């Protein structure tokens, strides 16, 4: 009983989200004309409360395994929870039904309920401490995302996107499940710290089985974070889904995937010693992750060069960013974990900002095609300037947050010693390739002639305010960077007990 009460105390963000989710469903089914507004306010309130609880856990530095070791609470997990809840909150507040043309006329209740469910499952994934919970949370994230992608009923692109997402997802999580079952067979336990204890005393059973299990589990994580070669669904899904859904999918499940990957690789296959992390067992998955990371950033950036659909372009760009973020996992140190947190934090603001611009252009012009973007500077200066800021941030130009994120991940890799300098160099070359297509977007918007006959965009006041908000979020963090650095530094504490 005491255990349950203690667990519930550390489970507040998830409890808030569950309660809010149920309330949204009920209000939506009984409500009259007022229900859309009520559902929206309820969702925002729920996410705000969950955010408050997550911050509270982080500030208190709460640690411990809860619900008989199924989930774990630690500062690292709390940091991820803050990012995840913040992402959903920004999506619901900035990407409204009014601003997203694709969603006009569709039900708001289900949409908000799905976002809350996705947030809840992301939180569970970021805190999973047992392979049963890991699998359940991963599948819950996946299934909610399939439904969200298919939200545009009767739209063939949305339907096809969700079908592809579902088939890729089902296969990769199925493969991962097979790997998890092998891991259970080898170690005799489903708890992640328990698995670490067994592996620390040497690999039981045939070595090959452990390699196979690790490889299959990497497939599952790779799918969630859209790493090459498990990225094929990504551009299609991003293009087919409604833009707010795309924006959410590009940040939240990715962040949760990185959260569980850190927990799994750092906490299960490695033991944190002060500063560095000792690899227990004999698996050289570091090399595997280096290969995946290099392939991911290179393919993402090269494929993005030829895209004309903005959503596809941002999809490939998000694949490339997953490659950079993987650098933080490869580094396998406190510095690496910190750089990963900071990069995700930066990525949240620059990517959502870019998607907001894409949404607003679609609202007014009804196009996602880059070839329809010329002349936007004349028609909507504020929007274009904001987009310029987001693109420069995505390239990694100082002093924007994107630069700080890249600085940290490259720094973490360089810290590993001269054997990894080439890896950092590959990252830098990739950043240069990425600069080409991001700047191409800017060139089209600022310089290219066209659309002279079209009137200026009449942006609503809130949309202008949100553009300014995201611009500020990209521009200002550098001013109080020491605080953010300290915050991330303090967050790299992984609870590794049972």
Partner 1 sequence: MIGLSHYLIVSAALLSLGILGLLTRRNAVNVLMSIELILNSANVNLVAFSRFGAGNLDGQVFAVFVIVVAAAEVAVALAIVLTMYRLRRTPNLDDADILRG
Judged by the rule CB under 8 A, the positions of this chain that interact with partner 1 are 131-132, 135-136, 139, 142-143, 146-147, 150, 153-154, 156-157, 159-164, 166-167, 170-171, 174-175, 177-178, 180-182, 184-185, 188-190, 235-236, 239-240, 307, 309, 312
240 or 328: CB nearest partner 1: 240
CA distances (Å), 498 to each of 64, 132, 258, in order?
8, 15, 21
Rounded Cα–Cα distance for residues 406 and 347 (Å): 10
53 or 135: CB nearest partner 1: 135
173 or 286: CB nearest partner 1: 173
- Sequence length of the chain is 498
The first and second tokens of residue 67, run together, are 């619900």
148 or 387: CB nearest partner 1: 148
**Which SS3 state, helix, strand or coil, does residue 188 take?**
coil
Q: In the complex, what is the shortest distance from the CB of residue 390 to partner 1, in angstroms, rounded to a whole number?
A: 23
Locate the DSSP E strands across 244-329: 270-272, 277-279
Rounded Cα–Cα distance for residues 196 and 497 (Å): 10
Q: In the complex, what is the shortest distance from the CB of residue 403 to partner 1, in angstroms, rounded to a whole number?
A: 30
76 or 303: CB nearest partner 1: 303
Q: In the complex, what is the shortest distance from the CB of residue 431 to partner 1, in angstroms, rounded to a whole number?
A: 24
Q: Which of 172, 170, 133, 169 is nearest to 263 (CA)?
A: 133
The first and second tokens of residue 155, run together, are 């739209």
- The secondary structure of residue 333, as a DSSP letter, is B
Q: In the complex, what is the shortest distance from the CB of residue 146 to partner 1, in angstroms, rounded to a whole number?
A: 5
Q: In the complex, what is the shortest distance from the CB of residue 492 to partner 1, in angstroms, rounded to a whole number?
A: 30
Query: Do 318 and 250 touch, CB atoms closer than 8 A?
Result: yes
Locate the DSSP E strands across 292-419: none
- The secondary structure of residue 455, as a DSSP letter, is P
Q: In the complex, what is the shortest distance from the CB of residue 148 to partner 1, in angstroms, rounded to a whole number?
A: 11
Rounded Cα–Cα distance for residues 71 and 8 (Å): 11
320 or 409: CB nearest partner 1: 320
Rounded Cα–Cα distance for residues 372 and 362 (Å): 10
Q: In the complex, what is the shortest distance from the CB of residue 400 to partner 1, in angstroms, rounded to a whole number?
A: 29
235 or 374: CB nearest partner 1: 235
């Amino acid at each position: 009983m005491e255990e349950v009460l203690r667990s519930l105390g550390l489970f507040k963000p998830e409890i808030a989200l569950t309660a809010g989710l149920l309330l949204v469903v009920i209000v939506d089914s009984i409500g009259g004309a007022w229900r859309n507004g009520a559902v929206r306010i309820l969702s925002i309130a729920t996410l705000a409360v969950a955010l408050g609880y997550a911050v509270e856990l982080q500030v208190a530095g709460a640690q411990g395994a809860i619900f008989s070791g199924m989930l774990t609470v630690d500062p690292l997990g709390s940091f991820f929870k803050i990012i995840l809840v913040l992402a959903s909150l920004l999506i619901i507040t900035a990407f409204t039904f009014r601003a997203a043309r694709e969603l006009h006329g569709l039900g708001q209740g289900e949409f908000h309920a799905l976002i809350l469910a996705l947030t809840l499952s992301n939180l569970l994934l970021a805190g999973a401490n047992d392979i049963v919970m890991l699998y359940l949370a991963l599948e819950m994230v996946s299934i909610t995302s399939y439904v969200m992608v298919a939200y545009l009923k009767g739209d063939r692109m949305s339907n096809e996107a969700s079908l592809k997402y579902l088939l890729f997802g089902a296969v990769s999580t199925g493969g991962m499940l097979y790997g998890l079952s092998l891991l259970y067979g080898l170690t005799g336990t489903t708890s992640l710290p328990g698995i670490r204890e067994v592996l620390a005393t040497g690999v039981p059973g045939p070595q090959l089985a452990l390699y196979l299990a690790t490889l299959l589990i990497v497939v599952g994580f790779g799918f969630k974070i859209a790493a090459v070669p498990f990225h094929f669904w990504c551009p299609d899904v991003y293009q087919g889904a409604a833009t707010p859904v795309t924006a959410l999918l590009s940040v939240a499940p990715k962040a949760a995937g990185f959260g569980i990957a850190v927990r799994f690789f750092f906490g299960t296959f490695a033991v944190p010693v002060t500063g560095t992390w000792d690899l227990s067992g004999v698996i050289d998955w570091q090399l595997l992750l280096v290969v995946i990371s290099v392939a991911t950033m290179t393919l993402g950036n090269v494929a993005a060069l030829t895209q004309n659909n903005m959503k596809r372009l941002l999809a490939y760009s998000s694949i490339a960013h997953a490659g950079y973020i993987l650098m933080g996992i490869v580094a396998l140190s406190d510095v690496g974990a910190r750089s990963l947190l900071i990069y995700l934090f930066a990525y949240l603001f620059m990517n959502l900002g870019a998607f907001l611009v894409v949404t607003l252009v679609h609202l007014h012009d009804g196009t996602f095609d880059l070839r329809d973007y010329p002349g936007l500077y004349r028609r909507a200066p504020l929007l274009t300037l904001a987009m310029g800021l987001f693109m420069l941030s995505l390239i990694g130009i100082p002093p924007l947050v994107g630069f700080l994120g890249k600085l940290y991940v490259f720094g973490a890799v360089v810290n590993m010693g001269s054997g990894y300098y080439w890896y950092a160099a590959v990252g830098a070359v990739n950043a240069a390739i990425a600069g080409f297509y991001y700047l191409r977007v800017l060139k089209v918007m600022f310089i290219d002639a066209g659309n002279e006959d079209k009137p200026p965009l009449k942006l609503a006041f809130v949309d202008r305010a949100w553009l300014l908000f995201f611009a500020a979020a990209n521009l200002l963090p550098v001013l109080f960077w020491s605080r953010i650095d300290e915050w991330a530094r303090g967050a790299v504490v992984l609870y590794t007990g049972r």
